[in-house]
Amino acid sequence: MDAIRGINPGSLPMGSPQQVGSTQQTDFRDFLLRSIREVNSMQQEADRAVERLMLGEEVTPAEVLTAVQKADIAFKLMMQIRNKLIQAYQEIQNIRV
């Protein structure tokens, strides 16, 4: 994973690939871990919201369901990225040397 450096995820330069890796070196691994942590915190937030709703606290169901939906979409996005990474890894594995 350390080899995958130089991608600048904060400001994806759409249509100008020559910028990649030129400024602001962000470790891809750190970025990935940070994203996973964010997805995790979203899910915890959704869990807390559901718990509060079930306990009969003053929360609107709409807020709870939105929190759940956000966590779901974030998780799906994370899974897609993970699938893509695994796919890329396997393709590299299949290279004959």
CB < 8 Å & 24+ apart, contacts of 35-38: 35/78, 35/81, 36/78, 38/74
Kindly tell me which residue out of 33, 34, 76, 88 binds another protein, with binding defined by CB under 8 A: 76
CB 24 within 8 A of CB 6: no
By C-beta, is 92 or 97 nearer to another protein?
92
Binding flag, residue 12, another protein (CB under 8 A): no
Task: Closer to another protein by CB, 22 or 66: give it.
Answer: 66
# residues near another protein by CB under 8 A: 13
Residue 28 CA to residue 85 CA, distance in Å, equals 12
The residue among 88, 16, 75, 23 whose CA lies nearest residue 44 is 75
User: Which residue has 């942590």 as its token pair?
Assistant: 37
Binding mask 25-64 for another protein (x = CB under 8 A): -----------------------------------x-xx-
Q: Of the listed pieces 3-11, 19-27, 50-58, 73-81, which binds another protein according to CB under 8 A?
A: 73-81
Among 33, 54, 81, 88, binds another protein (CB under 8 A): 81
